[in-house]
Amino acid sequence: MDTRLRQLSHWAGNEFVPLGQTKLSAADFVSVSEDASFRRYFRCPKLSQPIVFMDAPPDKEPLHDFLAIGNALSASGVPAPVFYAVDIEAGFLALSDFGDQQLLGLVQEKKPEAVLSILSKVMGLLQNVAKVDCSVPDYSESMLRAEMDLFPTWYLTRLLGLTLTDDFWSVWQTVCDRLVASALAEPQVFVHRDFHSRNIMVPSEGTFGLLDFQDAVRGPLSYDLVSLLKDCYVEYEPAMQTALVESYRQAWLADPRVQAMTPTAFYQAFERMGLQRHLKCAGIFSRLYLRDGKSRYLNDIPMVLNYVAAVCQSQPELSDFYGWLQQFVLSDPIGGSA
């Protein structure tokens, strides 16, 4: 018996079914998608109004931040869902339905010139996101380091079964120090933190809807740009990626902090930010598989490791780490786990 779904159906029935009509049951709800967190999403075809219902267990996924950030996004003109009803204590939320078309599916079916046009429009949305005024935590040094620690803990040790020696830890410390220093030196803005193709919905041609923003922080300007252009679920042509990074830099030239960065410096910061994010993602995808039984994320690790390797190979100061990855990781990035 799915107790929480039964409770959600009872709550939804009280909120959206007129008095005197048959109330809803758990059987009336259809799962929308699998989430990397403990949240679940459902639709109820019996209702005439298109609504997505979120089940967010309050002890694991409290709703306060999601609601506060969603309202701040909407107030800034960013297309976040409308909240129709909420029970914070129970962890239930009814929100507007952006449909099933993700940016991921859209770019996968388009030709490169169309993809470039679509991504350019999404970057316009990203500029607005970065300017959102909302009280969120700082993307601090401790947070950046804790995220990167997922790589040796969950990916190297638990997924691949490697025993890490002092040689590794010496190289690793240097890599982390460089990436943290680079991230903190960037202009700090509102960061969605998961601005990628599975969280950007396309409810109709030319419009977007933004999801999964509850972990927002104030952090590096290039972070969300990396999430978009070095997406863990779809790979874009390098020349397109480079052109879009420069386009984003130019869009921020009114900011004196960006003015002070040459195109090369801005791109290098973007690359280092990508390395930090992808080290984290490899660890998270490993944890989702090992701890939570979500095996589909294993399929995304090879692309993530390709991103990691490409940055390490291109930057001389990361050559020792690249050599270590070549020796122990790159030939078999999921270690026979599939």
- Tell me, what's the pLDDT at 246? 97
Architecture label for domain 3-96: 2-Layer Sandwich (3.30)
Start and end residues for every CATH 3.90.1200.10 domain found in the chain: 103-328
The percent of residues in the chain predicted with pLDDT above 70, rounded, is 98
Q: pLDDT tens digits for 101-156?
A: 999 999 998 898 999 999 999 999 999 999 999 999 999 999 999 999 999 999 99
The tokens 């490993």 sit on which residue? Answer: 286
Q: Tell whether the model's pLDDT for residue 176 goes beyond 90.
A: yes
Start and end residues for every CATH 3.30.200.20 domain found in the chain: 3-96
Question: Which positions ≥6 away from 224 have C-beta within 8 Å?
Answer: 126, 129, 130, 191, 192, 193, 195
- Tell me, what's the pLDDT at 226? 98
Q: SS3 of 17, please?
A: coil
CB atoms within 10 A of CB 19: 5
Q: pLDDT tens digits for 198-242?
A: 999 999 877 899 999 999 999 999 999 999 999 999 999 999 999
Q: SS3 of 77, please?
A: coil
CATH number corresponding to 103-328: 3.90.1200.10
Is the CB of residue 185 less than 8 Å from the CB of residue 253? no
**Average pLDDT score over residue span 5-23:** 90
pTM, two decimals, is 0.94
